[in-house]
Chain A
């Protein structure tokens, strides 16, 4: 069983479209995240949710809207896609907010978004 799963894995779409990426974790974790990896492989946090509540929004354009229907799901909706949105988007989860050996952040396999 995949612990953190996200769909779709690959997405090619035209500029101006609206698209969503879904994420689900079956680890019973309270905290979920979206990270963006750009073409230079740099990874940056976008959003952090704890128990369905938004904790971090790291200066992401408001065209990006995360939605957490329950603590096992954190979906990412993107409006009016732009060329610069092309990237790999990673969903991740951790037990909670605490530091510690057991509170590792686990990543999904990534969703490769290409805007043309």
Chain B
């Protein structure tokens, strides 16, 4: 079974509007962390935001916020006031527990395109 699922292969958003990128995850480990990365066309992987499974509040980093719904096992990324430079691939990823080699498991990504 997929551990991380991103159901939107591609999305369009109008500049200055908000957009939500979906991510659901599957784990039986009570201790885990969820990450979002941005990959622009230049190829690098840029860390955006982190949410721990025990965090009481949703994470926010500037225009990025994470809508964490633990019972639903979802960790959607919300980008407010979209900018043209937000056009990129976005990956949701998870790290489980303390003895999982610290590796990240990635979803398949969502390509976001911001329209002027």
Contacts and interface: CB of A to CB of B under 8 A. Distances in A.
Given A88-B43, A101-B50, A110-B45, A55 B101 contact: yes
B103 A48 contact: yes
Given A41-B108, A56-B101, A99 B33 contact: yes
B102 A96 contact: yes
Given A41-B109, A99-B97, A110-B43, A33 B103 contact: yes
A45 B108 contact: no
A71 to B, nearest CB: 14
Q: Which of A31, A97, A110 has the most CB of B within 10 A?
A: A97
A46 to B, nearest CB: 10
Contacts of A90: 45
Contact of B52 (A33, A56, A99, A105): A99
B64 interface: no
A105 B101 CA distance: 12
A64 interface: no
Contacts of A88: 43
Contact of B32 (A48, A56, A99, A112): A99
B7 to A, nearest CB: 15
Interface residues of A, number: 33
Nearest to B51: A101
Q: Which of B31, B55, B89, B106 has the most CB of A within 10 A?
A: B106
Given A41-B89, A41-B109, A98-B98, A56 B43 contact: no
Contact of A99 (B31, B43, B45): B31
12 contacts: A40-B108, A41-B89, A43-B104, A56-B101, A96-B102, A98-B102, A99-B95, A99-B98, A107-B45, A107-B46, A108-B44, A109-B42
Interface of B: 31-33, 35, 37, 39, 42-47, 50, 52, 55, 89, 91, 93, 95, 97-99, 101-106, 108-109
